Amino acid sequence: MTVAISTTVPAILLDEPTPKSTLRSFHRRKLQIWEGCVPFDHVRGWVQNRRTELLVDNWRMDSGREPDDDELYHLVLDDEIHKIKSLADNIFQNGVRMPLILASDGRLLDGNRRYFAVRHLLETLKPSERADFKILPAWVLASTDPDDENNVITERNLVDDQKEKWPYYVIAEQVYEDRMDQGLTIKEIAAKYDMQTTRVRAMISAVELANEFVGYHEEDDREREARRLAYENLIWFDQLQRSQGKLLDTDSEFKEAVFRMLLEEPAKFGQARDFVKLGEIRRSKKAWATLTSVSGPAGLEQADQVMAAEKLDAARDPVGKLDRIVLVLKEVATAPELHTAPEDLLASFHRLAMQVPAGPSDPEWRIGQMFQWLDEMTVAQISTLTPETLDRLSEAQARVKAMAEAWPGSQA
């Protein structure tokens, strides 16, 4: 279809930069567009936007009229779905990257969120920071035909633009390079990509673990396979680091086994959550042996079954429970954070622990614990003991010795 070309520049456009006429396709129809810049104050929010329809309907029911531009702004700003404040933060860092699309009279056809985000910046920034946001890049329709306007609305808001986001691996690698090669701080990277700092750290840790995995397989000539897996499934390394980071750092046998299993055929793991239970499986000798010896996804399934059976046994068998507790305590006792535990919690733990029998040598063990406790007392602590307490200790010692000597066959 032939497009009638207008030479009249829409009045809303500024003279600088010089407006440029071009043809663009919107939903199978070529339209004349004027590209340039417009003053923010000359743009009006789009009340009929489908995204704001529910907010406007509720307002209309409450007030009996359409909201004006100021009222619509506050409705959208307070609505979590629109995420205006986070978009404003992004625009503050990077500017308005996608031009608004306007009817010739300044009505928004595309860019409602960008428009309100810029308004939020203009109302919250210092006066010296506002200049960059008072002028906006814009495409203005030359036509005033409602059908042309609807074509723009349909194309930009309802039709899939077929844009594919970068894979997680590519984004994480860029973040990693910014940190390692460019020397950016975590906060600088978070601001650059509009991320939480925790997400930035997680990405960096995931890339580091994936690089270690690839390096591990250089020796068995499977580097290419390893790199491919890391590219397609970096989120696995993210989950591994999050859920098993401490174990990976302290148990080299565990780490090497996981690195080997990741390239097994048939594949043992199929999704990130498969790695969440690996630490628990590692603590069970039988479950770990099952996982590492049975190929494919059956290994993980059977290891889960072993753990379920062990939990059932432990629920019926106090000794099984105690065995699992000891394994957990080995990790807890070495944790540097343990010293921050409340004194009453530690005292309660030790009181309960003292109730666990120590077998035939139980009395010897208890006395040994008492000696250890006394040996660990500082001079300052001993100096606080009252005379009554010291007398009780002396009496207890004399009583124990007398009872031991009086018992038939005693070796005391």
Examine the fold and report which residue of 157, 185, 212 is the final residue of a domain before the chain moves on.
157
Q: Is residue 384 part of a domain?
A: yes
| pTM exceeds 0.75 for this model | no
Contacts of 103 (CB under 8 A, 6+ apart): 109, 140, 141, 144, 149
Does residue 76 sit in the same domain as residue 120?
A: yes
Examine the fold and report which residue of 130, 157, 184 is the final residue of a domain before the chain moves on.
157
Does residue 91 sit in the same domain as residue 109?
A: yes
Are 155 and 26 in contact, with CB atoms under 8 Å apart?
yes
Examine the fold and report which residue of 157, 177, 205 is the final residue of a domain before the chain moves on.
157
The backbone region for 83, taken as left when phi is positive above 0, alpha when psi lies in -120 to 50, beta otherwise, is left
Does residue 224 sit in the same domain as residue 345?
A: no
Does residue 345 sit in the same domain as residue 365?
A: no
pLDDT by residue (tens digit) across 4-23? 788 899 999 999 999 999 99
* Residue 7 dihedral angles phi and psi, to the nearest 5°: -100, 5
Does residue 127 sit in the same domain as residue 238?
A: no
Are 43 and 115 in contact, with CB atoms under 8 Å apart?
yes
Does residue 271 sit in the same domain as residue 387?
A: no
Q: Is residue 349 part of a domain?
A: yes
Q: Is residue 5 part of a domain?
A: no
Going by C-alpha positions, the residue among 88, 83, 137, 94 that lies closest to residue 117 is 88
Q: Is residue 286 part of a domain?
A: no
Indicate the SS3 state at residue 111. Answer: coil
* 108-110 β-sheet, strand order: 20-25, 30-39, 135-141, 100-102, 108-110
Does residue 208 sit in the same domain as residue 135?
A: no
Task: Summarize the confidence of residues 112-125 as an average pLDDT.
Answer: 92
**Greater pLDDT, 169 or 212:** 212
Q: How many distinct structural domains can be found in the chain?
A: 4
Q: Is residue 175 part of a domain?
A: yes
Going by C-alpha positions, the residue among 205, 181, 202, 206 that lies closest to residue 190 is 202
Does residue 139 sit in the same domain as residue 67?
A: yes
**Domain carrying residue 331:** 317-356
The H-or-E segment that residue 34 falls in is strand 30-39
**pLDDT at residue 140 above 70?**
yes
pLDDT by residue (tens digit) across 251-274? 999 999 999 999 999 999 999 999
200, burial (CB in 10 Å: exposed 0-12, middle 13-18, buried 19+): buried
Does residue 404 sit in the same domain as residue 331?
A: no
What the block records as the tokens of 343 is: 């004194």
Q: Is residue 1 part of a domain?
A: no
pLDDT by residue (tens digit) across 14-66? 999 999 999 988 877 889 999 999 999 988 776 566 677 778 888 888 899 98
